[in-house]
Amino acid sequence: MTPGNVEFVQVLVSMTVETGGVAAFLYADGRLRRTRRRPSRWLPATREAAVLGAFLFGALYGGPALIIHFVKSRGAVGLVLGLACALTVVSVDIGAELSAAAAIEWLGL
């Protein structure tokens, strides 16, 4: 495989992991808040726009979207939670990219 093909696989993996991670945190938090009968401060369209932004722009949009979401819904405590979620998504994303590159090299593709 050429270096360009490896980079293409890494971009696909990153788009999948970043978007999925942001969506998982946002939708899980929305469900958790509904089960505790606390109103959500984000409209469904805003949540979907955050997921779309994460798909289009990756961590540049997904990280701040998570931080803003948790700060808006939980106040000052949300800043720590938002940073933790954003760092988790970025860490898993980097690990998935490196794993994809290692798997391609190991398989000799």
pTM over 0.75: yes
Residue-level pLDDT at 36: 66
For the stretch 94-100, contacts whose Cβ atoms lie closer than 8 Å and that sit 24 or more positions apart, written own/partner, are 96/13, 96/14, 96/16, 96/17, 97/10, 97/13, 97/14, 97/17, 100/9, 100/10, 100/13
pLDDT recorded at residue 70:
86
Per-10-residue mean pLDDT, the chain, length 109: 81 89 87 69 78 86 88 86 92 91 84
- pLDDT of 37 reads 66
Q: Burial code of 57-86, b = ≥16 C-beta within 10 A, e = fewer? A: ebbebbbbbbbbbbbebbeeebeebbeebb
